[in-house]
Amino acid sequence: MHRSPSMVPQDADHDMYLVLLDAYGIWVGRAWRETDDDEGTYREMLIRDLLHEVYSRPVRIVAFNTAEGWSRNITAEIAAELKQRRDEGENIPTSIQHLLLMAGG
């Protein structure tokens, strides 16, 4: 019997990020994208991917660390970082501008 791969990383002592996408329309639904964070670099990659429209209308971003036993919704944190970059003159694509509302504008 075929088994699906585990979402738990082999080396679980680092942060993981999940991005809930709303890219598939009303009939297909939503999907999670998963990746991990080696020494904090993925958070910056996540921001860069958002700015380069790798994600289509992300709805929620969750971080977790199984070794430390925590998970949390970091959508507002990422939105605040995007807002700061916009205030510094960076172009924010239309596909993620709705996230800025979570950071107060």
Verdict on whether the full-model pTM lies above 0.75: no
Compare 89 and 55 and report the one with higher pLDDT.
89
Where does 3-100 show beta strands of DSSP type E? 16-21, 31-36, 58-65, 70-73
In which residue are the tokens 């738990």 written? 8
Q: What is the pLDDT of residues 26-56, one digit of tens each?
A: 555 544 454 544 545 678 888 888 998 888 7
Kindly state the percentage of the chain with pLDDT values over 70: 66
- Specify the pLDDT at position 17: 72
Residues contacting residue 35 through CB under 8 Å, at least 6 positions apart: 16, 17, 42, 45, 46
